[in-house]
């Protein structure tokens, strides 16, 4: 699991370190370079969305598992409290 997170971190950090497209001038050559840079960036965006979706799905799985554990702990506490109350009631009556 740690390896999965490490690989995802590398993929995200790699994309975040990519250079931004900056229009250097108003000549046709500079505008063409800028447009091709923007086009390359839009090609890479679906990968980021898929990666984010995968990370969110993994986080949801972890949270669901944690939620299930917490529900079980709460049920255990309820049973213990009920048992204590029954003992107290038996001494009172």
- pLDDT tens readout for residues 26-60: 888 888 888 888 887 776 666 667 778 888 999 99
- Domain boundaries in the chain? 2-92
Alpha carbon separation from 90 to 28, 82, 84, 86 (Å, rounded): 91, 12, 10, 6
Residue 39: the pLDDT is 81
d(CA 7, CA 11): 6
pLDDT tens-digit readout, 56-87:
999 999 999 999 999 999 999 999 999 999 99
Q: What does the alpha-carbon distance between residue 72 and residue 79 come to, in Å, rounded to a whole number?
A: 11
pTM exceeding 0.85: no
């Amino acid at each position: 699991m740690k390896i999965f997170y490490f690989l995802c971190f590398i993929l995200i950090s790699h994309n975040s370190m990519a250079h931004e497209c900056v229009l250097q001038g108003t000549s046709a050559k500079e505008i063409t370079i800028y447009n091709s840079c923007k086009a390359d960036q839009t090609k890479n965006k679906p990968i980021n969305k898929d990666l984010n979706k995968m990370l969110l799905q993994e986080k949801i799985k972890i949270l669901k598992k944690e939620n299930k554990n917490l529900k079980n702990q709460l049920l255990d506490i309820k049973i213990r409290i009920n048992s204590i109350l029954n003992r107290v009631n038996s001494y009172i009556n």
